[in-house]
């Protein structure tokens, strides 16, 4: 923290002494602001047509309809209307995105690409960025979905412009800035399962050159599972200060504090051999016990908890230098997650700390012919990890590890117009990552063993993006791009070095598409086709270590191929709006071979507890209690990758004689079948779903509204991830190797939302 403050102080002093401070009256209320001063705007192309959404995903202002990015955008209103208040809610709005939780950690997948993020050793393949600042820890994104202007979901590698490890995509959250006039807003949600959510914000000018905005959100909800797990109890606050001393200088400082509590996540029982509970949301403490399991007294109980504290500060300094715009982004984030979860089917308690600081410096400019950005990036993170796994009498693990990451990058991208209709894109990024870990793992199996977790590795990479854009007309565009991405290698504990590390993963993505408006701007049709090729794709899973214990392992799965197409249609039908979004996705592991260890006394009799649908090689004995199998999952689809996903939504505002509106809306989202984990067992195969939502809003012309809503009307059991239970005996001797604890999304929920805005 001291290095972070010192760096900002030196830079701010240098800028302030080098830049004349000219007092301009009403700078905050002036229209003469920089493009970055308004992170989000909607520009109506015609009075009755579809509005353009302006984004900054390319590090500059740009209409989505003029962008060759594979992007989906949700504005602040859509986030509120669809009840998106946490990461897991995004999968209700974005086809091909899935999200699961374990304790305090979030796993996010886009088109089957993501990370099974459950501890400090895991980095996500989907980069989360808040106001342009990369958030490294999966536990650090838990409560940031409030008081937002918009969310940008970028699909595919973002190797050129974005901070770190965005090999599968990026999710950009842009918060609301202090407004040009005094305003306040408030919302309250009351619903079943004891839901109470209170949100509010107030902001405006303090002086002619200084503006401020404060926002807070508190959510309290009982658990969806019958024993109280999958609850929510958090509070999040954000303070933003905007200083504009001249019409060429802007400084935004954002501070945050978040506190997440509750019982945390639990796993829903699934098995191909044992009877399923009548209620899919039966909690793990009330589910049938594992058949012929090796677990003794450490049964699942209701004492699980989440206790996470997050404090952060970031700044964005923009200066118009004349020949270019300079942007400096310093940031510091302190994340302290602590949790006890039984979601894998046994006791897993962890306490972590993560202190990250990052600095990004950019120069950019745009003219009618050329738009460009160049920059440099530095990232520094220190972590500690202390976790305990109890599965007596088979195993007791205690891991204590310190981890460090230092990374830097240089990047640039340009968009050059060769004519009024034809543009070319080119970009490069050099990335360098250094990682290290120290610590020990203590395992009782039941004999005590101590393992040194020491490790060091260094990775570097050059990623690129190239493309063509062609305007058939002012409202019709064709594009084709090729881009590469990279995610650094890393470590996992409990295996003696040098066998405790894995290599980087790399991806090449080809995209062709078209963006179109028709019928006097009342019909929008966007089409995208894609082909992705992965090398050394990282897969993280709960497996058995060579020592005989269970741990979180990461392997480089080899090659994988993905291809598909996305169709997005929006139509104005009278006063109403119809939105249809669908995606086809084909995925396959070209090569995925690894060695699994079969634990337990049954191994000595030639029995393996593995129940995978992958090809299983013969047992190779290690000792009387252990044996190994060669597992070949080549040809299998990627987990979290349904072949078909999509949504349909329609709303129709009805104007009353008073000038108020009634707005009925209905939506449907669907996904076909998919595997929930790379174990490929039958109980981890989900058949897919179709879920329906509806809401009815009264919107007053005086600035307040009341909405009644129902989500998942059909009470569909929708699964998004989970864990294979590793301690069952083989089926031949009465065990259940198909036992799986799944992450399940909410059942039918309903409630009322009241919103008010004062300006």
| Side-chain half-sphere exposure of 41, counting CA atoms within 13 A | 13
pLDDT of the residue at 46: 37
**pLDDT value of residue 289:** 75
State phi, psi for 373 to the nearest 5 degrees.
Answer: -150, 135
Higher pLDDT pick, 554 / 278: 278
Q: Of 154, 67, 160, 150, which is closest to residue 111 (Cα–Cα)?
A: 154
As a 3-state breakdown, the chain gives helix, strand, coil percent values, each rounded to 5, of 5, 55, 35
More confident residue, 610 or 698: 698
Q: Which two tokens stand for residue 688?
A: 């897919």
- pLDDT tens track for 360-373: 999 999 998 999 99
What local confidence, expressed as pLDDT, does residue 31 receive? Answer: 36
Alpha carbons 498 and 501: distance in angstroms, whole number: 7
pLDDT band of residue 71 (cuts 50, 70, 90) is: confident
What confidence category does residue 547 fall into, taking pLDDT thresholds of 50, 70 and 90?
A: low
Q: What angle do CA 28, 17, 20 make, to 5 degrees?
A: 45
User: What mean pLDDT is predicted for residues 528-536?
Assistant: 94
As a whole number, mean pLDDT of residues 387-394 equals: 79
* 549 confidence band (pLDDT: 50, 70, 90): low
- In 3D space, the residue among 188, 229, 221 whose CA is nearest the CA of residue 741 turns out to be 229
Confidence of residue 679 (pLDDT cuts 50, 70, 90): confident
For residue 102, what pLDDT is reported?
Answer: 66
Report residue 409 as tokens: 């990058």
Of 378-387, 409-418, 489-498, 527-536, where does mean pLDDT reach its minimum?
489-498
Buried b (16+ CB within 10 A) or exposed e, 254-276: bebbbbbbbbbbbbbbbbbbbee
Distance of CA 235 to the CA centre of its chain: 20
Q: Which of 30-44, 56-70, 115-129, 434-448 has the lowest mean pLDDT?
A: 30-44
Cα dihedral: 55, 57, 63, 64 (round 10):
-100
Cβ–Cβ < 8 Å for 316, 36: yes
Separation of alpha carbons 659 and 679, rounded Å: 57
Q: Strand pairing of 126-130 and 169-175?
A: parallel
pLDDT of residue 7: 47
Position 624 pLDDT exceeds 70: no
How many CA within 13 A on the CB side of residue 739? 27
**Mean pLDDT calculated for residue range 17-42:** 37
Residues 54-78, mean pLDDT to the nearest whole number: 83
pLDDT of 40 reads 35
The whole-number pLDDT of residue 731 equals: 79
Token pair, residue 530, equals 């894609």
Q: How confident is the model at residue 440 (pLDDT cuts 50, 70, 90)?
A: confident
Question: Is residue 446 scored above 80 in pLDDT?
Answer: no
Average pLDDT, the chain: 86
Highest-scoring range by mean pLDDT, 298-307, 545-554, 567-576: 567-576
Count of alpha carbons within 13 angstroms of residue 368, beta-carbon side: 3
What is the rounded distance in angstroms from the CA atom of residue 632 to the CA atom of residue 424? Answer: 43
More confident residue, 508 or 618: 508
Confidence of residue 278 (pLDDT cuts 50, 70, 90): very high
Lowest mean pLDDT among 66-75, 357-366, 383-392, 623-632: 623-632
pLDDT on residue 48: 58
Distance in angstroms (rounded) separating the CA atoms of residues 477 and 505: 33
Phi, psi of 682 (to 5 degrees): -60, -35
- Tell me if residue 121 falls in helix, strand or coil: coil
Reported as a single tens digit per residue, the pLDDT across 552-570 is 778 888 899 999 999 999 9
pLDDT over 50 (residue 25): no
**What is the per-residue pLDDT for 732?**
76
Any residues with CB less than 8 A from the CB of 708 and at least 6 apart, and which? 695, 696, 697, 750, 751, 752
Q: Taking the chain, what is the end-to-end CA distance rounded to the nearest angstrom?
A: 38
Of residues 722, 643, 745, 736, the one with CA closest to residue 687: 643
Q: pLDDT by residue (tens digit) across 300-356?
A: 899 999 999 999 999 999 999 999 999 999 999 999 999 999 888 888 898 999 999
User: Which of 497-511, 636-650, 664-678 shows the lowest per-residue confidence on average (mean pLDDT)?
Assistant: 497-511
Confidence of residue 18 (pLDDT cuts 50, 70, 90): very low
**Statement: residue 589 has pLDDT above 60:** yes
Query: Out of 327-336, 488-497, 501-510, which region has the weakest mean confidence (pLDDT)?
Result: 488-497
**What confidence tens digit (pLDDT) does each residue in 233-272 have?**
999 999 999 999 999 999 999 999 999 999 998 999 999 8
Instruction: Say if residue 19's pLDDT is above 60.
Output: no
> Which among 328, 374, 336 is positioned nearest to 353, based on CA atoms?
336
What does the pLDDT average to over 700-711? 95
Residue 165: predicted pLDDT: 75
Query: Could you tell me if 281 and 224 are in contact, meaning their C-beta atoms sit under 8 angstroms apart?
Result: yes
Query: Is the model's pLDDT at 20 over the cut of 70?
Result: no
- Is residue 14 pLDDT above 90, yes or no? no
Q: Which is more confidently placed, 681 or 27?
A: 681
Query: d(Cα 150, Cα 174) in Å, to the nearest integer?
Result: 6
Distance CA 499, CA 494 (A): 10
pLDDT at 35: 39
Tokens of 733: 């001797």
pLDDT at 550: 66
- Whether the pLDDT of residue 75 is over 80: the answer is yes
2-758: CATH class: mainly beta
Question: What pLDDT is attached to residue 38?
Answer: 40
What are the backbone angles phi and psi of residue 536, rounded to the nearest 5°? 55, 40
Query: What residues does 363 pair with on adjacent strands?
Result: 326, 374
Q: How far is residue 697's CA from residue 47's CA, in Å, rounded to a whole number?
A: 23
Q: Model-level pTM?
A: 0.89
> Out of 48-62, 357-371, 411-425, which region has the weakest mean confidence (pLDDT)?
48-62
Give the total residue count for the chain.
759
Question: Two tokens at 311?
Answer: 């404090």
Q: 410-419, 689-698, 727-736 — which is least confidently predicted? A: 727-736
Residues 294/180, Cβ–Cβ less than 8 Å: no
Q: What angle do CA 360, 363, 367 make, to 5 degrees?
A: 145
Give the tokens for residue 407. Answer: 């990374």
Res 610: pLDDT: 76
| Dist CA 473 CA 63 (whole Å) | 15
Mean pLDDT, rounded, for 180-209: 95
Per-residue confidence (pLDDT) for residue 363, from 0 to 100:
97
Compute the average pLDDT of residues 511-537: 95
Q: Which distant-in-sequence residues (6+ apart) come within 8 Å of 499 by Cβ?
A: none
Looking at residue 142, what is its pLDDT? 75
């Amino acid at each position: 923290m001291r290095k972070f403050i010192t760096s900002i102080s030196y830079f701010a002093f240098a800028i302030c002494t080098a830049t004349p401070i000219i007092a301009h009256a009403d700078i905050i209320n002036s229209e003469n602001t920089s493009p970055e001063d308004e992170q989000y705007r909607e520009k109506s192309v015609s009075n009755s047509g579809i509005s353009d959404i302006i984004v900054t995903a390319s590090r500059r202002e740009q209409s989505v309809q003029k962008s060759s990015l594979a992007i989906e955008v949700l504005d602040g209103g859509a986030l509120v209307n669809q009840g998106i208040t946490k990461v897991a809610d995004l999968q209700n709005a974005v086809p091909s995105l899935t999200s699961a939780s374990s304790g305090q950690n979030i796993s996010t997948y886009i088109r089957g690409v993501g990370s099974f993020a459950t501890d400090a050793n895991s980095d996500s393949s989907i980069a989360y960025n808040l106001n342009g600042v990369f958030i490294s820890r999966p536990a650090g994104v838990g409560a940031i979905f409030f008081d937002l202007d918009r969310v940008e979901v970028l699909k595919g590698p973002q190797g050129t412009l974005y901070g770190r490890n965005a090999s599968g995509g990026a999710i950009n959250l842009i918060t609301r800035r202090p407004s040009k006039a005094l305003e306040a807003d408030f919302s309250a949600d009351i619903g079943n399962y004891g839901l109470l959510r209170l949100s509010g914000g107030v902001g405006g000018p303090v002086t002619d050159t200084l503006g401020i905005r404060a926002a807070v959100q508190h959510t309290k909800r009982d658990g969806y599972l019958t024993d109280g797990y999958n609850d929510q109890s958090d509070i999040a606050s954000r303070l933003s200060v905007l200083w504009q001393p001249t019409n060429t200088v802007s400084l935004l400082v954002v501070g945050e504090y978040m506190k997440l509590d509750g019982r945390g996540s639990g796993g829903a029982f699934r098995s191909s051999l044992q009877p399923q509970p009548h209620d899919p949301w039966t909690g793990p403490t009330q589910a049938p016990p594992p058949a012929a399991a090796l677990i003794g007294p450490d049964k699942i109980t209701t004492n699980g908890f989440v206790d996470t504290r997050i404090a952060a500060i970031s700044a964005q300094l923009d200066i118009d230098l004349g020949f270019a715009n300079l942007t400096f982004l310093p940031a510091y984030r302190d994340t302290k997650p602590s949790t006890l979860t039984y979601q894998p089917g046994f006791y897993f308690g962890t306490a972590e700390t993560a202190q990250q600081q990052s600095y990004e410096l950019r120069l950019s400019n745009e003219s009618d012919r050329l738009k460009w950005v160049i920059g440099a990036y530095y990232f520094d993170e220190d972590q500690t990890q202390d976790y305990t796994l109890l599965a007596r009498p088979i195993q007791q693990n205690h891991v204590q590890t310190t981890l460090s990451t230092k990374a830097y990058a240089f990047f640039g991208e340009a968009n050059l117009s060769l004519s009024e209709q034809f543009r070319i894109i080119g970009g490069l990024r050099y990335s360098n990552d250094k990682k290290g870990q120290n610590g020990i793992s203590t395992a009782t199996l039941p004999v005590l063993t101590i393992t040194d977790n020491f490790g060091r590795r260094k990775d570097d990479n050059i990623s690129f993006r190239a493309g063509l854009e062609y305007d058939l007309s002012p409202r019709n565009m064709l594009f084709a791009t090729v881009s590469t991405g990279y995610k650094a290698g890393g470590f996992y504990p409990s295996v003696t070095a040098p066998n405790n590390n894995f290599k980087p993963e790399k991806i090449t993505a080809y995209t062709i598409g078209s963006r179109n408006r028709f019928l006097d701007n009342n019909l929008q049709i966007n089409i995208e086709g894609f082909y992705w090729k992965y090398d050394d794709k990282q897969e993280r899973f709960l497996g058995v270590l060579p020592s005989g214990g269970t741990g979180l392992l990461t392997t480089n799965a080899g090659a994988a191929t993905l291809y598909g197409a996305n169709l997005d249609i929006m139509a104005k039908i009278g006063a109403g709006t119809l939105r249809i979004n669908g995606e086809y996705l084909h995925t396959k592991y070209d090569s995925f071979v690894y060695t699994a260890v079969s634990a337990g006394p049954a191994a000595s009799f030639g029995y393996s507890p593995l129940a995978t649908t992958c090809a299983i090689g013969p047992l190779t004995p290690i000792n009387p209690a252990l044996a190994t199998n060669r597992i070949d999952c080549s040809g299998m689809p990627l987990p979290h990758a349904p072949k078909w996903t999509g949504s349909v939504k329609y709303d129709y505002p009805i104007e009353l004689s008073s000038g108020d509106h009634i707005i009925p809306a209905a939506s449907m989202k669907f996904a076909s079948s998919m595997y929930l984990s790379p174990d490929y067992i039958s109980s981890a195969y989900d058949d897919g779903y179709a879920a329906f939502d509806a809401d009815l809003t009264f919107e007053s012309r005086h600035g307040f509204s009341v909405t009644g809503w129902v989500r998942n009307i059909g009470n569909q059991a929708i699964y998004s991830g989970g864990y294979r239970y590793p301690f069952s005996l083989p089926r031949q001797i009465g065990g259940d190797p198909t036992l799986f604890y799944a992450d399940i999304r909410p059942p039918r929920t309903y409630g009322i939302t009241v919103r008010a805005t004062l300006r």
